[in-house]
Structure 1
Amino acid sequence: MLKKFYKIVIVPYTLFLLYLMFLGMGRFQYEDNLIRIEPVLSTVQFIHNTIGWKDIVIIVLGNIMMFIPFGFLGWIFPRLKDLKMLFYAFISAIVIVEALQYFTRMGIFEVDDIILNTFGVYLGWLLRRFIEKRFSRLIL
């Protein structure tokens, strides 16, 4: 039951996420192509320079939590049950998305986004394994 629901929801969810990454949340086209490649530093600077905790939670935790559903891709593509294969596929895809943000200037290519998004996928992968072990009768 969960697998069927996931298969129905993941495509619209992915499209919604792409919308947010390129057009949503007050996005605008930057005048210059921007890139931040120093891991963790830009997130630490963002947290330090942001007054409101709401912004920190939305950006940092959002970059993790919004990608948890992709940890379940093994339900659709059995090869992606393997964590290495999932990471390879996901990191390849998210680097392309970040590059598109850079080239269209509708965002910033940020290594921290890749790290946080991948951590979200890892949490989703762990959650998928937990659900499969504990609630196997609900999955079909």
Structure 2
Amino acid sequence: MLKKIYKTVIVPYTLFLLYLMFLGMGRFQYDDNLITVEPIFSTINFIQGVRDWKEIVMIVLGNIVMFIPFGFLGWIFPKLRDLKTLVLNFIPAITIVEALQYFTRMGIFEIDDIILNTFGVYLGWLLCRFIEKKFRNLVL
């Protein structure tokens, strides 16, 4: 049952997430193409520069939590049940999205986003395995 719901929801969810990444949350087109390639440091600098914890939670945790559903892609594509295969397919896909943000200037190409998004996929994969073991009857 959960697999059927997931199959129905993941495409609209992905489209919604792409909307957020390019147009939502007050996005605007930057004057220049922006890129940050120093892992972790840009996130630390961002956290240190923000005065409102709500913004930190929304941006940093959002980059993790919003990608948890992609950890369940093995329910649709059996080859992606393997964590290594899932991650090795996800990283190029999210890198393309980040590159599109860079080239359209509708966001910043950030290595930290790739890391945080991938961590979200990993957490989703762990959650998927847990749900499959704990609620076996509901998954099918």
* TM-score (normalised: structure 1): 0.99
Q: CA RMSD in A?
A: 0.3
Corresponding residue pairs, total? 140
State the distance in 2 between where 1:42 and 1:8 align: 36
Using the alignment, how far apart are the partners of 1:91 and 1:114 within structure 2?
7
Quick one: distance in 2 between partners of 1:122 and 1:20?
21
For residues 24-39 of structure 1, what are the structure 2 equivalents within 5 Å? 24-39=24-39
Runs (5+) with no aligned partner, structure 1: none
Matched, 1:110 2:114: no
What residue identity is the alignment partner of 2:108?
Answer: I
CA-to-aligned-CA distance 1:38-70 (integer Å, 9 cap, x gap): 000000000000000000000000000000000
How much does 1:118 deviate? Answer: 0.3
| Counterpart code for 1:119 | F
Residue 81 in 1 paired to residue 54 in 2? Answer: no
Q: Which residue of 1 aligns with 2:137?
A: 137
2:7 partner SS: helix
Give the whole-Å Cα distance in 1 for the aligned partners of 2:3 and 2:68.
15
Q: Partner amino acid for 2:35? A: I
Give the match's secondary structure for 1:32.
Answer: coil
Question: Structure 1 residue 23 and structure 2 residue 27: aligned?
Answer: no
Moved over 3 A (4+): none
Letter aligned with residue 27 of structure 2: R
Structure-1 residue corresponding to 2:6: 6
Supply the distance in 2 between the matched residues of 1:28 and 1:133 (Cα, whole angstroms).
Answer: 44
Give the secondary structure class of the aligned counterpart of 2:35.
Answer: strand
Shift of 1:36: 0.2
TM-score by length of 2: 0.99
| Identical counterparts, % of pairs | 78
State the one-letter code of the partner of 1:32: D
Q: CA deviation at 1:74?
A: 0.2
CA distance in 2, matches of 1:12, 1:92: 21
Tell me how far apart the structure 2 counterparts of residues 10 and 92 of structure 1 sit (CA, whole Å). Answer: 19
- 1:71 is displaced (CA, Å) by 0.1
TM superposition shift of 1:78: 0.2
